[in-house]
Amino acid sequence: MRFREADAVLTMDTPHSFARASGFHRPQTTDMADILMCPPDYYGIEYEINPWMSTERQTDHNLAVEQWNDLRGILEGLGARVSLMEPVAGLPDLVFTANAAMIYQSAAIISRFRHPQRQGEEQHDATWLASRDFEISYPPDDQNFEGAGDALFCGDTLFAGYRMRSDATGLQKIGARIDCRVIPLELVDPYYYHLDTCFCPLARGVAIYYPGAFDQYGQRVLQELVPKLIPVELDEAREFSCNAVVVGRQVITNSGCPKLHRQVQALGYDAIETPLSEFVKAGGSAKCLTLRLDGEEAAAWRDED
């Protein structure tokens, strides 16, 4: 039976105390969003590990640099603090810092990439996050895990995308470590291979999603658990509209998502678009280029004392 693992989780669903007891403490906080990015000095399409990538369709380096700088400028303009990881030759996807780790309070659970092409990133991610005093840990043995690309908090629940890049068992065990309910969501469309390409929490109980990336079961679970669930249509899903960066009440996406922008504006958000075509060529967009070091806006643990 295909969805047995996820079903088991739902039936075993236990109330959880949000992990004051877990032993993790938040690093010193400010009101500013704290975001990790990595400049695109060595970014390009050097291999093909998702259907968006074709080595025949290269990026325009200068345009990629301009688009990345614009995104950084928008985030800093909103008051975010942007920290930079040193780019490394031969690791073109290091620019997608969402995949460095999953951040929970002062803990960083470092990714273990599915594809060998990205595994060289892991040591750089761990070294950088350790230098910022995060408590470093790793996914359970043999389990692939691609950080915030596949693990997104919405309220007090960790929504976890599996099958393409991260493994369901590892995601469950990571949730158990931090005493957090995990809702595993099977990703069924190879174009939406990370959860952050098809699901974006905005606040507790509010999220954007592309239904076609999930099976019926996943769609039903999301509809049941997220009271305000904003669907995007295929044309805008393809523009990576779900791959949004959320800073307070601002939602930043690739350009080409006017319907989504109207929907989030109706909920009182400001929508900002910025062209990220060069990163779409690698299967990434705004959210993939960032990692919130202080926790996503929608994560209930951000507000815990």
Residues that bind ligand ARG (CB under 6 A): 49-50, 53, 93, 96, 98-99, 118, 149, 194, 196-197, 282-284, 288
Indicate the residue among 104 and 240 with the shorter CB distance to ligand ARG: 240
Instruction: Provide the minimum distance between the beta carbon of 10 and ligand ARG in the complex, in angstroms, as a whole number.
Output: 25
Q: List the structure tokens of 186.
A: 């099977």
Indicate the residue among 139 and 149 with the shorter CB distance to ligand ARG: 149
Tokens 């957090």 belong to 180
Question: Of 38, 194, 242, 261, which is the active-site residue?
Answer: 194
251 SS3 class: strand
Are the CB atoms for 274 and 67 separated by under 8 Å?
yes
Indicate the residue among 96 and 209 with the shorter CB distance to ligand ARG: 96
Instruction: Provide the minimum distance between the beta carbon of 73 and ligand ARG in the complex, in angstroms, as a whole number.
Output: 21
- Which long-range contacts (C-beta less than 8 Å, at least 24 apart) are formed by 249-255? 250/78, 251/202, 252/71, 252/74, 252/75, 252/286, 253/285, 253/286, 254/280, 254/285, 254/286
User: What's the DSSP call for residue 114?
Assistant: S
In 140-261, beta strands by DSSP E? 151-154, 157-162, 181-186, 199-203, 206-209, 228-231, 245-247, 250-253
Half-sphere exposure (CA, 13 Å, Cβ side) for 194? 30
Q: List the structure tokens of 184.
A: 């595993």
Instruction: Provide the minimum distance between the beta carbon of 190 and ligand ARG in the complex, in angstroms, as a whole number.
Output: 11
Instruction: Provide the minimum distance between the beta carbon of 187 and ligand ARG in the complex, in angstroms, as a whole number.
Output: 11
Q: How far apart are CA 51 and CA 124, in angstroms?
A: 26
Indicate the residue among 19 and 298 with the shorter CB distance to ligand ARG: 298
Q: How far apart are CA 161 and CA 152, in angstroms?
A: 9
Question: Of 198, 200, 257, 288, which is the active-site residue?
Answer: 288
N- to C-terminal Cα distance for the chain? Answer: 42
Instruction: Provide the minimum distance between the beta carbon of 21 and ligand ARG in the complex, in angstroms, as a whole number.
Output: 30
Indicate the residue among 256 and 284 with the shorter CB distance to ligand ARG: 284
288 is an active site residue: yes
Q: β-strands 206-209, 81-84: how paired?
A: unpaired
Residue numbers annotated as active site: 194, 288
